[in-house]
RNA sequence: GCUGGAAUCGUCUAGUGGCAAUGACAAGAGACUGUAAAUCUCUCGCCUUCGGGCUUCGUAGGUUCGAGUCCUACUUCCAGCA
């Protein structure tokens, strides 16, 4: 079982530590989206420097390329990417269901690769196997998202998610059983490294990195009775934690999370899947009992020139920043704000320099990581409410 | 000087008689939430009570119901020849 310690509790909100084989995650925490084992525009060293504690990669993307086998042969996601810290993988469910021409059967999902059109299938079992090969510390169950938000579709998708969860759990335990002495024996034969000089055979005898954990995913869309039912089912399963999926807007999220997280067992961590583009999502999530977040928004918006400041988001490409020789955010200690002006970043974006996206991504990722870090500190220090009020009042005006 | 050719929205460009006129870039703004996103959308002659009105394709004339498109002259530029 994944070790999770609660440090402070305040209603549903809590702080804690998730102990993974690759290190601890102090929660609540923002997890960087590294879909293809890379955070777009950023190096892993930059991610460490900006304060990220963990990354989340995607099984769908990594299965397509370079393949789960290759990552296992490289020593696993954390080693392959040189992140070397705690890692999550998403199951691929979300991505597959957002592709066109997906065929869902009870068995799994049939779809075409967006890269070369190959006809592929992913099942609860194959997702689990791939995630074990990829070797993240924490895996997500393979779930089904309804395409529409009508009740019957949502209920059907939720029920399928539950049936698939039982299969995920069974497969996960089967794969867990193949571990011998904390070492993943799935990998047979000599390790083949993708490139570079020959590396020595790893001594895994006291290396617990191959312990891997499973989160169930709660579905139910915008229907709180389904959410409650899904949470009860997920809670009944022998899993290490929970992902809360299928959330697309902050509307109704507080109430939904309140219901779900009052049902989910307190002693296991909860991950709010895909939310965190708007700072308010992080506050609503944390105060309603979510421990980790991931979101592509901060880095995507950074690449598109939309930058967080404590006074709200700005588009640095706007003409008004052409002659603005002040830091983006004076009270920010990220690499961008410490060294460069708005005018310079504006210029980098206007001239389409790669550096623009790098610096902007450093800032935005740092901003959300730090915002959650401060939420954590404020919960520990008992001043969450005032921190939240000050932040939101200033940010959203 | 002669002979050809060319002049279209900030830039390049489509357009050879039929209702401001193509595309790209630039510019102005917006969107983005488990990443098919270094992406996408809108605006881009002037005015508008959003119905429409007005002025445009080097300049000035002309032919025509109608001209960026045809004719004449001029201006500027390019190429070749002196």
Q: What is the residue-wise DSSP string for A245-291? A: ----SSTTHHHHHHHHHHHS-TTS-EEETT--SSHHHHHHHHHTT--
Q: What is the mean pLDDT of residues A85-93?
A: 95
Vertex A318: Cα angle to A314 and A324 (nearest 5) = 85
DSSP A117-133: --EEEE-HHHHHHHHHH
Closest nucleotide C1' to the C-alpha of A243 = B34
Is A240 in the active site?
A: no
Angle between helices A354-381 and A342-350 (to 10 degrees): 140
Order of strands, sheet of A109-112, starting from the edge strand that comes earlier in the sequence: A103-104, A109-112, A119-122
Does A3-183+211-295 carry CATH code 3.30.450.40? no
Q: How far is CA A236 from CA A171, A284, A366, in A?
A: 17, 25, 36
Q: Judge whether A15 and A5 are in contact, CB under 8 Å.
A: no
Q: Would you put residue A252 in left (φ > 0), alpha (ψ -120 to 50) or beta?
A: left
Q: Six-digit token pair at A192? A: 């083949």
Residues 43-62 of A with CB under 7 A from strand B: 56, 58, 61
> Taking residues A84-96, what's their average pLDDT?
93
A320 to A223, A296, A311, A315, A343: CA distances (angstroms): 44, 27, 16, 10, 9
For residue range A188-241, what is the model confidence (pLDDT) as tens digits? Answer: 333 333 333 333 333 333 434 468 999 999 999 999 999 999 999 999 999 999
Task: Name the nt closest to A59 by C-alpha to C1'.
Answer: B34
pLDDT of residue A20: 95
A368 touches strand B (CB under 7 A): no
Q: Where are the domains of chain A?
A: 3-183+211-295, 302-396
pLDDT in tens, A136-159: 999 999 999 988 889 999 999 999
A274 touches strand B (CB under 7 A): yes
CA A339 – CA A83 distance, rounded (Å): 25
Residue A324 bears catalytic tag: no
Tokens matching residue A114? 């967006």
The pair phi, psi for residue A213, each rounded to 5°, is -130, 155
Q: What is the pLDDT of residues A370-386, one digit of tens each?
A: 999 999 999 999 999 99
Q: Strand B: which bases are under 7 Å from protein Cβ? A: 26-40
Strand B reaches within 7 A of the A306 CB = yes
A128 touches strand B (CB under 7 A): no
Residues 144-203 on chain A lying near strand B, CB distance under 7 A? 145
From the CA of A10, how many Å to the C1' of B61? Answer: 88
Report the distance from CA of residue A163 to the C1' of nucleotide B82 in Å, as an integer.
Answer: 92
Residue A140 CB lies within 7 Å of the nucleic strand B: yes
> In terms of Cα–Cα distance, which of A335, A357, A366 is closest to A41?
A357
Q: What is the pLDDT of residues A113-136, one digit of tens each?
A: 888 888 889 999 999 999 999 999
Assess contact for A43 and A83: CB atoms under 8 A. no
Cβ contact A357 with chain B strand, < 7 A? yes
- Catalytic choice (A137, A281, A291, A294): A294
Which of these, A306, A313, A361, lies nearest to A335 by C-alpha position?
A361
Structure-block tokens of residue A174: 């089967």
Return the H-helix or E-strand segment holding A178. none
pLDDT digits (tens, 9 = 90+) for A243-301: 999 998 888 999 999 999 999 999 999 999 999 999 999 999 999 999 999 999 999 99
Say whether the CB atom of A12 is under 7 angstroms from strand B: no
According to the model, what pLDDT value does residue A207 have?
Answer: 39
**Per-residue model confidence (pLDDT) at position A67:** 94
d(CA A56, CA A32): 6
- Distance CA(A183)–CA(A178), nearest Å, equals 9
Q: Are A102 and A121 in contact (CB under 8 A)?
A: no
Residues near A247 by Cβ (< 8 Å), separated by ≥ 6?
A253, A256, A272, A273, A274, A275
Q: What would the pLDDT profile of A347-374 be if each residue is shown by its tens digit?
A: 999 999 999 999 999 999 999 999 999 9
pTM, entire model: 0.90
A39/A373 Cα distance (integer angstroms) = 19
Work out the average pLDDT over A167-179.
Answer: 91
Q: What ipTM did this prediction achieve?
A: 0.87
Helix (H) or strand (E) holding A98: none
């Amino acid at each position: 079982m994944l070790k999770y310690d609660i440090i402070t509790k305040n209603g549903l909100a809590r702080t804690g530590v998730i102990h993974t084989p690759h290190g601890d995650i102090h929660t609540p925490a923002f997890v960087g989206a590294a879909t293809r084992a890379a955070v777009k525009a950023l190096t892993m060293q930059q991610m460490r420097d900006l304060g990220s504690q963990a990354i989340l990669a995607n099984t769908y993307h990594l299965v397509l390329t370079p393949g789960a086998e290759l990552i296992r042969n490289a020593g696993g996601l954390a080693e392959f990417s040189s992140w070397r810290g705690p890692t999550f993988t998403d199951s691929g469910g979300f991505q597959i269901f957002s592709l066109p021409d997906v065929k869902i059967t009870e068995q799994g999902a049939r779809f075409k690769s967006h890269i070369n059109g190959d006809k592929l299938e992913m099942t609860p079992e194959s997702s689990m196997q791939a995630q074990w090969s990829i070797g993240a510390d924490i895996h997500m169950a393979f779930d089904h998202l309804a395409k529409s938000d009508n009740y019957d579709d949502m209920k059907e998708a939720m029920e399928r998610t539950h049936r698939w969860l039982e299969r995920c759990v069974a497969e996960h335990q089967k794969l867990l059983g193949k571990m011998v002495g904390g070492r993943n024996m799935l990998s047979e034969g000599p390790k083949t490294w993708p490139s570079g000089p020959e590396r020595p055979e790893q001594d895994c005898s006291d290396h617990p990195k191959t312990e891997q954990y499973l989160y169930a995913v709660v579905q139910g869309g915008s229907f709180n009775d389904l959410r409650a039912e899904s949470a009860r089912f997920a809670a009944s399963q022998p899993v290490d934690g929970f992902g809360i999926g299928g959330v697309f807007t902050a509307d109704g999220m507080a109430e939904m999370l309140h219901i779900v997280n009052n049902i989910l067992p307190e002693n296991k961590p909860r991950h709010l899947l895909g939310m965190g583009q708007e700072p308010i999502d992080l506050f609503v999530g944390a105060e309603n009992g979510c421990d980790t977040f991931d979101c592509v928004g901060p880095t995507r918006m950074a690449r598109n020139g939309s930058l967080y400041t404590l006074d709200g988001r700005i588009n640095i490409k706007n003409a008004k920043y052409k002659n603005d020789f002040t830091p983006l955010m004076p009270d920010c200690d990220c690499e961008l704000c410490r060294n460069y002006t708005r005018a310079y970043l504006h210029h980098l974006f206007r001239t389409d320099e790669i550096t623009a996206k790098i610096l902007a991504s450093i800032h935005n990722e740092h901003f959300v990581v730090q915002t959650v870090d401060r939420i954590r500190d404020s919960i520990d220090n008992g001043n969450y409410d005032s921190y939240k009020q000050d932040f939101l009042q200033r940010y959203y005006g």
